[in-house]
């Protein structure tokens, strides 16, 4: 497995592609159940979409700022065209169909329903990896990398670089439930992610995240959560977990460079090529929390 062949299936940084969706109620359909894995489909009622479009159209705009830059805040000249796009140009049903074409599930962890995408590679020895989005963000950030990471041979890569992917929505984001009690910080979420991977049958896996997802991955490593071999961060260089000595940083960066050299795998990569200490993630501690508000993004 991975510990015997450290240079074969290393994890890479994920892509930050696609902006987060606008505020929209997370109404979707999942089979009833407790801690079991339940199939999940998105089904936003048309009335909710129309209500959102109507609220945008009825916005009372402030007068345009006299400044020709953002020194007085985001300008109306910038914001208003974006809102027109949300109201009249954005095709939610298209995104809904893309999500529903993927294997999506819901499961209860520590009393909270967690939504996730789970795509298994067709390659026998693929490495399980959990990908965590940032803030404000959603699982949409990773839609563009699912195919290249699960089936690298279709993009000019190697079977040994394949991953089984688990892509959860952070509690309070997207279609995961919103906590009703405090305590769902990065440490708690990191432990929940370990529980999710073990529940799916992955007793050895790696973790990657960008922005807050990077902090969550870091906290997983610092807590030595069960099953975690190593993590890659979107804010800092890769780490290795004590006890998994083969996952050293230069191996991870070599894997990234190998993927980048292959133009068939079009990934947006930002941080693993930097040396240690190049980011600010270690300063963020456990300050990346789930969202409790009604305006979380799908």
For 16-35, the pLDDT digits (tens) are: 222 223 223 333 444 444 57
Inter-residue contact 204 to 170 (CB < 8 Å): no
Strand pairing class (28-30; 104-109) = unpaired
Q: What is the pTM of this model?
A: 0.71
pLDDT of 42 higher than 50: yes
pLDDT of 252 higher than 90: no
Q: Please tell me the least confidently modeled range out of 62-76, 195-209, 214-228, 263-277.
A: 263-277
280-284 contacts, C-beta under 8 A, 24 or more apart: 280/235, 280/236, 281/214, 281/215, 281/218, 281/233, 281/235, 281/236, 282/218, 282/236, 284/215, 284/235
Q: Residue 45: its pLDDT value, please? A: 95
Q: Residue 263: its pLDDT value, please? A: 29
Quickly state the pLDDT bin for 100 (edges 50, 70, 90). very high
For 176-230, the pLDDT digits (tens) are: 999 999 999 999 999 999 999 999 999 999 999 888 898 999 999 999 999 998 8
Q: Residue 291: its pLDDT value, please? A: 52
Domains present along the chain, CATH in parentheses: 2-43+104-283 (3.40.50.12270)
């Amino acid at each position: 497995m991975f510990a015997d062949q450290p240079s074969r299936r290393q994890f890479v940084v994920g892509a930050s592609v696609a902006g987060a969706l606008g505020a929209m109620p997370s109404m979707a359909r999942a089979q009833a159940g407790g801690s079991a894995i339940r199939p999940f489909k998105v089904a936003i009622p048309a009335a909710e979409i129309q209500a959102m479009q109507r609220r945008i159209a009825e916005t009372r705009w402030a007068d345009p700022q006299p400044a020709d830059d953002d020194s007085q805040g985001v300008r109306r000249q910038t914001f208003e065209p974006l809102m027109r796009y949300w109201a009249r140009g954005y095709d939610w049903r298209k995104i809904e169909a893309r999500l529903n074409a993927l294997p999506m599930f819901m499961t209860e962890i520590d009393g909270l329903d967690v939504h996730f995408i789970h795509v298994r590679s067709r390659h026998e020895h693929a490495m399980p990896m959990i990908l965590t989005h940032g803030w404000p963000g959603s699982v949409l950030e990773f839609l563009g990398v699912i195919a290249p990471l699960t089936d690298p041979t279709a993009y000019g890569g190697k079977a040994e670089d394949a991953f089984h992917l688990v892509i959860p929505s952070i509690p309070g984001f997207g279609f995961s439930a919103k906590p009703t009690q405090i305590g769902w910080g990065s440490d708690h979420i990191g432990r929940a992610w370990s529980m999710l991977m073990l529940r799916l049958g992955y007793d050895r896996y790696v973790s990657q995240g960008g922005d807050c997802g990077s902090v969550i991955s870091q906290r997983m490593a610092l807590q030595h959560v069960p099953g975690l071999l190593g993590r890659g961060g979107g804010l800092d260089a890769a780490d290795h977990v004590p006890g998994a000595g083969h996952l050293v940083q230069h191996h991870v960066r070599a894997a990234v460079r190998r993927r980048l050299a292959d133009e068939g795998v079009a990934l947006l990569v930002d941080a693993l090529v930097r040396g240690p200490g190049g980011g600010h993630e270690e300063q963020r501690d456990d300050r990346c929390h789930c969202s409790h508000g009604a305006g979380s993004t799908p």
